[in-house]
Amino acid sequence: MSRALPILTVLAAILAIWYAATIWMNATWVFDQAERNGQTVTWAEVIPQTMTQDRPLLPPPHQVAANLWQGIAGQAITSKRSLVYHAFVTFRGTMAGFGLGILLGVGLAMAIVRYRVMDGSVMPWAIISQTIPIVALAPMILTLSNSVGIDGKEVPKAIISAYLSFFPVFVSMIKGLRSPDQMQLDLLKTYGAGEGATFFKLRLPASLPYFFASLKVAVAAALIGTIVGELPSGAIEGLGARMLIGSQFGEPLIMWAALFAAAILAGLLIVAVGLVERLANRRMGGVA
Amino acid sequence: MIIPTHPMWLAGAVAVWLALWTANVTLAQSRGRAARIAMPILFGAALLVLWEGIVRAYQVSPVILPPPSTIAQTFAASLPMLWADFVQTVIKGALSGFVIGVAAAFVVAIVIDRSPFLQKGLLPIGNFVAALPIVGLAPILVMWFGFDWHSKAAVVVVMVFFPVLINLVAGLKASERMQRDLMATWGASYWQSLFKLRLPAAMPFFFNGLKIASTLALIGAIVAEFFGSPIVGLGFRISAEIGRLGLDIVWAEIVVAALAGSVLYGAIALTERWVTFWHPSQRR
């Protein structure tokens, strides 16, 4: 209870500010409209009108909620107008990018921990790769994969998403694989363990907590990558595409609904990954 | 395997690649500072040579993948245009938004640091929002602030705000009980203890947030341009030239974006080393 009260207070404050902003931002349109018709309107008439516009500058929360509900529950989930359908397309892309990112991150980390050459030559570039804004590369990846003969947007979307999500896994795995100390490594040497055995019996198990801790960041990054990947692709499916469509056709409600659907999807993904992390920790005898 | 049109280019490129890789394997044996700097440079050069060789050997059409030499020529030939795009997107959009967002997060962090109630309420929400795909706000902010750089800066402000806020609030808790008690026994006021103990102790966390924010800033500024922009800017140029198949210009813009991102990150890392010289991670 002591944790819920402050959060609820802040949420209520955000809602109150949102409503106030709605009235303030949408009122101009109402006044213009009235002036054009030669009427004068009082504030008592303005306020209800700011809540029900078709193309508001800022839709009030209940309008967004209604639109979101309409998009989620009001359609058959196979319909092109259903947000569940678009969220599923984005989810599929996110999972592909997330999986690819994990493979890439773990693989690169293994190579770098094993080979000094890789550490010296690839490691700095892996860091630099993250300072390059992926969105600049995204349209390029789309054209390239198109001309190589890959149809559809799934593969390039997954590549863009993996580009963002591999890094947290990569960094944590390097830390994790290097976490066994000299004493433990020496002990395995006295057992006559080879390189493979040391890797599978010591380094890999030691790195697992680091691995799971990185997954939450990685999945959030994968979702951002997927949405960004949907923007320049001219895609018509997915939450990013919905935002683009809403922007191009001047339909703010579509944008807001897509934005909140993306937020809900992000929340679900993070909770799911958090559950996996807790389960894994428990299996490995941790307390958390 | 497909037979290349000009096999000599491929053979040459592979030979150079192997030579540079062997050099790196040798360099990896030494622990010197020079080797640490030379290895990534050689690796990058090897990649470029391989790229050039493959493109020339297979006669890849320049509308699919231009060779690095062409990109370099285009880069040199269109410097004024690249500079204008750089100013529009990086300086006006990303950097001004970055500064405003970081300053706002700084002020808010210090304000909510004084109120445990606000901390309990804002931090879980801030943590959650920081993980959301905030780039989705871009079309809405473009609608509000117009097509020019103001809307790009607004997107950057929102994207940068939460990572910096969360890190700084965590950092303000980083000083130890003992240290705070010591300040109290010296009769230090709240502000004295804030400026002399708690803010310096928070700096490693703050710079962590800044590093995350620096990449986000460029992403935000470029994404916002996909939703409408004047006829200048990195994101605008990229989407326009892709449509006209001017891929050499697109790659030149990518080079600009990469340079801008790396320089921004590098500047933050250098400032971090200068400000938090006392932190264990900075010792050498």
Using a CB-CB cut-off of 8 Å, the residues of chain A touching B123 are none
- Mean of pLDDT values over B182-211: 88
Nearest chain A residue (CA) to B213 = A131
Mean of the per-residue pLDDT values for chain A?
Answer: 82
| pLDDT at residue B101 tops 90 | yes
Residues 6+ apart with CB under 8 A from B254: A132, A136, A137, A140, B238
Give the alpha-carbon dihedral of B269, B262, A244, B246, to 10 degrees.
170
- Mean of pLDDT values over B224-243: 83
Of A2, A147, A224, Cβ closest to residue B133: A224
Using a CB-CB cut-off of 8 Å, the residues of chain A touching B95 are none
Same domain for A23 and A108, yes or no, is no
Using a CB-CB cut-off of 8 Å, the residues of chain A touching B269 are none
Please tell me the predicted confidence (pLDDT) of residue A98: 92
Which chain B residues in 128-157 lie under 8 Å from chain A, judged by CB atoms?
A: 128, 131-133, 135-140, 142-144
Distance from C-alpha of B179 to C-alpha of B184, rounded to nearest angstrom: 9
Please tell me the predicted confidence (pLDDT) of residue A288: 45
Please tell me the predicted confidence (pLDDT) of residue A286: 60
Distance from C-alpha of A188 to C-alpha of A201, rounded to nearest angstrom: 9
Q: How many CB atoms neighbour CB A64 within 10 A?
A: 20
Distance from C-alpha of B90 to C-alpha of B262, rounded to nearest angstrom: 12
Same domain for A20 and A134, yes or no, is no
- Mean of pLDDT values over A148-156: 74
Distance from C-alpha of A255 to C-alpha of B33, rounded to nearest angstrom: 52
Nearest chain B residue (CA) to A216 = B131
Contact A232 B250 (CB under 8 A): no
Distance from C-alpha of B11 to C-alpha of B204, rounded to nearest angstrom: 49
Superfamily (CATH H level) for B76-282: MetI-like (1.10.3720.10)
User: How confident is residue B284, by pLDDT bands cut at 50, 70 and 90?
Assistant: low
Same domain for A96 and A217, yes or no, is yes
Asked if B27 and B77 touch (Cβ cutoff 8 Å), the reply is: no
Contact B40 A220 (CB under 8 A): no
Contact B24 A117 (CB under 8 A): yes
Exposure string for A70-103, b = 16+ CB within 10 A, e = fewer: ebbeeeeeeeeebbbbbbbbbbbbbbbbbebbbe
B268 at A interface, C-beta within 8 A: no
pLDDT digit string, tens, across residues B46-84: 888 888 888 888 887 777 788 888 889 888 988 898 898
Please tell me the predicted confidence (pLDDT) of residue A103: 94
Is A52 among the domain residues?
yes
Nearest to B250 by CA among B259, B241, B262: B241
pLDDT digit string, tens, across residues B159-169: 899 889 888 98
Same domain for A270 and A204, yes or no, is yes
Domain that holds residue A187: 83-283
Higher-pLDDT residue of B25 and A198 is A198
Size of interface A-B (CB pairs under 8 A): 159
Contact A132 B254 (CB under 8 A): yes
Provide the residue ranges of all domains of chain B, joining segments of one domain with +: 7-60, 76-282
Please tell me the predicted confidence (pLDDT) of residue B99: 94
Give the alpha-carbon dihedral of B151, B152, B157, B162, to 10 degrees.
110
pLDDT digit string, tens, across residues A41-71: 777 777 777 777 777 778 888 888 888 888 7
DSSP state of A151: -
Contact B139 A246 (CB under 8 A): yes
Please tell me the predicted confidence (pLDDT) of residue B139: 83
- Tell me the CATH number at A187: 1.10.3720.10
The ipTM estimated for the assembled molecules is 0.78
In chain B, the percentage of residues whose pLDDT exceeds 70 is 98
User: How confident is residue B126, by pLDDT bands cut at 50, 70 and 90?
Assistant: confident
Q: Which DSSP string corresponds to chain B?
A: -PPPSSHHHHHHHHHHHHHHHHHHHHHHH---HHHHHHHHHHHHHHHHHHHHHHHHHTT--TTT---HHHHHHHHHHTHHHHHHHHIIIIIIIIIHHHHHHHHHHHHHHHHHHT-HHHHHHHHHHHHHHHHS-GGGGHHHHHHHH-SSHHHHHHHHHHHHHHHHHHHHHHHHT-S-HHHHHHHHHTT--HHHHIIIIIHHHHHHHHHHHHHHHHHHHHHHHHHHHHT---S-SHHHHHHHHHHTT-HHHHHHHHHHHHHHHHHHHHHHHHHHHHH-TTSGGG--
Phi and psi angles of residue B248, each rounded to the nearest 5 degrees, phi first: -65, -35
Contact B258 A135 (CB under 8 A): no
Higher-pLDDT residue of B29 and B82 is B82
| pLDDT at residue B102 tops 90 | yes
Distance from C-alpha of A256 to C-alpha of B104, rounded to nearest angstrom: 25
| pLDDT at residue B20 tops 90 | no
A150 at B interface, C-beta within 8 A: no
**Residue B181: HSE in the Cβ half-sphere, 13 Å Cα cutoff:** 3
Contact A124 B257 (CB under 8 A): no
Tokens of B94: 């990303």
pLDDT digit string, tens, across residues A117-146: 877 778 888 888 877 777 777 777 877 777
Q: Radius of gyration over alpha carbons of chain A, in Å?
A: 25
Contact A231 B136 (CB under 8 A): no
Tokens of B108: 């808010």
User: How confident is residue A235, by pLDDT bands cut at 50, 70 and 90?
Assistant: low
User: How confident is residue B8, by pLDDT bands cut at 50, 70 and 90?
Assistant: confident
Same domain for A257 and A132, yes or no, is yes
Higher-pLDDT residue of A190 and A217 is A190
Using a CB-CB cut-off of 8 Å, the residues of chain A touching B137 are 259
Is A72 among the domain residues?
no
Is A224 among the domain residues?
yes
Question: The whole model's pTM is what?
Answer: 0.83
* Angle, vertex CA A135, rays to CA A132 and CA A138, nearest 5: 105
Same domain for A242 and A203, yes or no, is yes
Please tell me the predicted confidence (pLDDT) of residue B157: 92
User: How confident is residue B43, by pLDDT bands cut at 50, 70 and 90?
Assistant: confident
Distance from C-alpha of B154 to C-alpha of B142, rounded to nearest angstrom: 9
Asked if B41 and A137 touch (Cβ cutoff 8 Å), the reply is: no
Please tell me the predicted confidence (pLDDT) of residue A147: 73
Please tell me the predicted confidence (pLDDT) of residue B100: 94
In chain B, the percentage of residues whose pLDDT exceeds 90 is 8
- Mean of pLDDT values over A202-215: 86
| pLDDT at residue B143 tops 60 | yes
Same domain for A104 and A216, yes or no, is yes
- Mean of pLDDT values over B177-203: 89
Give the alpha-carbon dihedral of B237, B243, B247, B252, to 10 degrees.
0
| pLDDT at residue A287 tops 60 | no
User: How confident is residue A95, by pLDDT bands cut at 50, 70 and 90?
Assistant: very high
Higher-pLDDT residue of B92 and A231 is B92
- Mean of pLDDT values over A231-235: 65
User: How confident is residue A255, by pLDDT bands cut at 50, 70 and 90?
Assistant: confident
| pLDDT at residue A1 tops 60 | no
Using a CB-CB cut-off of 8 Å, the residues of chain A touching B132 are 220, 262-263, 266
Number of domains making up chain A: 2
